[in-house]
Structure 1
Amino acid sequence: MQIFKSENKKSNALPLLAVATFGLNVLSLLLLIFNGSMLQQLGRQLAPQSLVQLVDGRVITGDPEQNLERQPETIRRFVGESMSLMLTWSQQQPPTTVWEISSQLVANDFKEKLKSQLINLNPDRQFENVNRGSENVLVIQKISQPIKISNGRWKVEMFANQLTFTSYDKLGKSISFNKQILIKAINEPATSLPNAPLPLHFAVYRLGEARLEISNVCEIQDKNCSGNSNQALP
């Protein structure tokens, strides 16, 4: 009889032990899920979003990744659209306004030299005063594949012409703009939006999401073109 009671007690304890073990496992699982979510939220707070490069050259923001690499199409698209913005003017969109906005895409130590280079493109000094009815448009024929100079730095060759049209000259005049353009990657976007942005602000801001900037522009035949902007102009 005593043996029977002892075995009965053991059999009654087994379900309780199973329930307790299951409860502990569930509690441990809940703690792991909670800790994982807390770590994920902390990681999002400590690390800013970074860019994601798409195949067609467009960029979007995504999870952080410290990287100075850029896809060739991202670089070519940045060069083409940046230079087109800088060299497309009209009376409604004067070059001084265009430069003020688009120069955010240029390295700080190169801005003045590039501005002088753009002013000297047109002997009529239309950079300061665009004539009524005149328009300037940059037409790009070709942008070469980027050549990597060093980590986060590239060089491309751009073959283009700036066309100037007036109300008296519908055929327009062409000024050659064949250049070597040096690009470097930056960690943070250099562009920002003002309180009352113009369409050009949005275009420049979108380009700035690529986290690239123009660091030098040299003549196409310059064999010594480097990242040193002091060599860009004679």
Structure 2
Amino acid sequence: MVRLLEKRQKTGSVLTIFAIATFSLHILVLFLFILQGLNIRQLSLRKSPNFVQLIDGQPVANIDDLAREPETIRRFISKTMISMFSWSGTLPPQTIEEVANPKSDLGILINTPQGGSQKISTSSWVASFAFSEDFRKSFLSTVAEMTPPEVFSENPSQAMTSQLVIKRLYPPKEIAPGKWRVGMVADLIQRNRVGGEKLITPFNKDLLVRAADYFGNPQANNSTDLQKAIYSVRADKLEIYEIRNLCLLDDYNNLDEDKSKQCVTGKTSDSFIR
């Protein structure tokens, strides 16, 4: 009888150990599944990595999401501002035939702060996608107020053109990780198509630029020319998020982002508003 009880106790002890070990193994597997799920979720939420850019804007290595070459920033600003403020009254040619006979730019209506609406050129509207979304809407309203209605006139004697001539772009100064300040000295030249009279307005601005994410066009083969142009603007992975007047006597060593900073002495450019 004693031996029988000892055998039963040994059998029960082995089963208990086996049950505990099995339960522990299940707990471990469950923990690993949860850990794997969290890792997958983090990967799904991770931003698309940016690449270090060469002077021509080509990506070469995934080193720092916020790194940009100074010349890439300067090229981005030059291209964006020239497109924004050069108005010819015609659309950019898409075919050889349109080079000799360009299509008229009908313009795009933009609401103004006064409650009305005015036209901006199609090139300005496309270039505006290089601006941050929170700045773009208000800036477009300002550009609409600046754009003369004569730009879209079909009467040759009344039609006007505008061109931004950049005289100097200061080297980008980093003000925070992934943010830069760039000074631009330029002239905005408005010219009558007939007669050639022109009005030159100083256009000297401080531009604040930051690194931005970019997602490629998922339907590139089915996109219109306008959609392709918009995606190409964002491909530089940069955006302008603020523009201020530039003090021409500023030594450009003050990197303060304080919006209240004013140029007390020295000449400043005129306001955006005409």
TM-score, normalised by the number of residues in structure 1: 0.64
* Match 2:257 to one of 218, 226, 232: 226
The one-letter amino acid of 2:87's match is W
Residue 85 in structure 1 maps to residue 83 in structure 2: yes
2:126 to 92, 101, 124: 101
Distance (whole Å) between structure 2 residues aligned to residue 131 and residue 187 of structure 1: 38
Q: Give the 5 Å matches for 1:8-157.
A: 50-54=50-54, 57-62=55-60, 64-93=62-91, 94=107, 95-122=120-147, 124-126=148-150, 130-132=152-154, 133-157=159-183
Q: Name the SS of the counterpart of 1:102 in structure 2.
A: helix
Q: How many matched pairs?
A: 182
Distance 2:235 2:63 in 1: 14
State the match for 1:195 in structure 2. Answer: 223
Which of 197, 204, 207 aligns to 1:178? It is 204
Q: 1:177 to 1:191 in 2, by over 3 A?
A: farther
- Superposed displacement of residue 165, structure 1: 1.6
2:196 corresponds to which letter in structure 1?
K
Q: What secondary structure, in the 3-state scheme, does the structure 1 residue paired with 2:204 have?
A: strand
Which residue type is aligned with residue 76 of structure 1? R
Question: 2:184, 2:224 → 1: CA distance?
Answer: 33
Paired residues of 1:157 and 1:181 also in contact (CA < 8 A): yes
Match of 1:90, SS state, is: coil
2:206, 2:245 within 8 Å by CA — same for their partners in 1?
yes
1:160 to partner: Cα distance: 0.8
CA contact (8 A) 2:204 2:246 kept: yes
Q: Which has the higher contact order (CA 8 A, sep 6+)?
A: 1
CA distance in 2, matches of 1:77, 1:125: 30
Output the CA distance in 2 between the equivalents of 1:191 and 1:139. 32
Note if contact 1:153-1:185 (Cα within 8 Å) is conserved in structure 2: yes
The structure-2 alpha-carbon separation of the partners of 1:225 and 1:186, relative to structure 1 and needing over 3 Å to count, comes to same
* Counterpart contact for 1:107–1:213, Cα < 8 Å: yes
Q: Find the aligned partners of 2:124 and 2:56 in 1 and give their Cα distance.
A: 23
Q: Which runs of 5+ in 2 are unaligned?
A: 1-45, 92-106, 108-119, 263-270
Q: Which amino acid aligns with 1:174?
A: I
Q: What secondary structure sits across from 1:91 in the alignment?
A: coil
CA distance 1:49–1:151, change in 2 (3 Å): closer
1:131 & 1:115 partners in 2: Cα distance? 20
* Local SS of the residue matching 2:152: coil
Residue in 1 that maps onto 2:113: none
Percent identity between the two aligned chains:
24
Q: CA deviation at 1:195?
A: 1.8
Distance in 2, matches of 1:227 and 1:97, equals 33
- CA spacing shift, 1:136–1:148, aligned 2, 3 Å: same
Alpha carbon RMSD of aligned pairs, Å?
Answer: 3.6
Runs of 4+ in 1 over 6 A off after TM superposition: 190-194, 222-225, 231-234
